[in-house]
Amino acid sequence: MIYDHIDNAGHYFDPEDKFFRAIQYAVEFELARPDGDYEVEGRGLIAKVQTYFTSPTEQRLFENHKLYADIQIMRCGSERQDVVISEKLEPLGPYQEQKDVTKYTSPALFSSIVLHPGQFVVYYPDDIHRPNCQIGFDSQKVRKICMKVKL
C-alpha cells in the first residue's frame, strides 16, 4: 500500500511506469465528463470515475483484488478508508472473477486513512481495504477516480 499526495507520485514510480501514467490520467481528467469506466490503455489501465455519497462504516465491506491494483485518487470531497495490515480475514463468499473482487467480514483491528483532494492510495492484491466510508457522522458527496492497473 502507498498513501501520499499526488505531487509525490514520482517518489514511487518512474514517469514511464503505468502506475505513474494512471495517476497522471486521473489528475488531468476533466471533471465535466460523466461518471463511468474509461479504457485508458485497453483493459490494462482503466479509469472508474465515480460520484457518490460516503456511507456509514457498518454499511461497507472490506475487499481486495487479484488481477488489478487499485489507485484511488480523490478529486472532490473526502472519505475514510480502512485497511487491514496483517490479519487474515474470512471471505464472505467466493472470488467474483467478473468484478475482480473478494469481499470480507470486518476484522476487530484495522487502520484508517482519510483521502482528501489531491491525495492517492495504491492498493495491491494483498491490501484488504474498505473504501467509501464517511468521516464521522456526516455523509458527503465525493468525486473519485479509481484507476485499475492490470498486474
How confident is the model over 2-35, as pLDDT tens digits? 999 999 999 999 999 999 999 999 999 999 999 9
| 62: Cβ contacts below 8 Å, ≥ 6 apart | 82, 84, 89, 103, 104, 105, 106, 107, 110, 128, 129, 130
Q: How far apart are CA 48 and CA 35, in angstroms?
A: 8
Q: Which three cell numbers stand for residue 147?
A: 484507476
What is the model's pTM?
0.95
Q: CATH for 2-150, among 2.60.120.370, 2.40.180.10, 3.30.70.890, 3.30.70.660?
A: 2.60.120.370
Which of 71, 73, 75 lies closest to 123 in space, CA to CA?
A: 71
SS3 86: coil
Q: How far apart are CA 66 and CA 107, in angstroms?
A: 20
Question: How large a percentage of the chain has pLDDT more than 90?
Answer: 93
Determine which helix (DSSP H) or strand (DSSP E) holds 43, and give its type and residue range.
none
**pLDDT beyond 90 at 84:** yes
Domain definitions of the chain by residue range? 2-150
- Specify the pLDDT at position 88: 80
The single residue listed with the C-alpha cell 455519497 is 53
Cα 144–chain centre separation: 8
**pLDDT beyond 90 at 143:** yes
Q: What are phi and psi of 31, to 5 degrees?
A: -70, -10
Q: % helix / strand / coil in the chain, to the nearest 5? A: 15, 50, 40
- With beta carbons less than 8 A apart as the criterion, state whether 18 and 70 touch: no
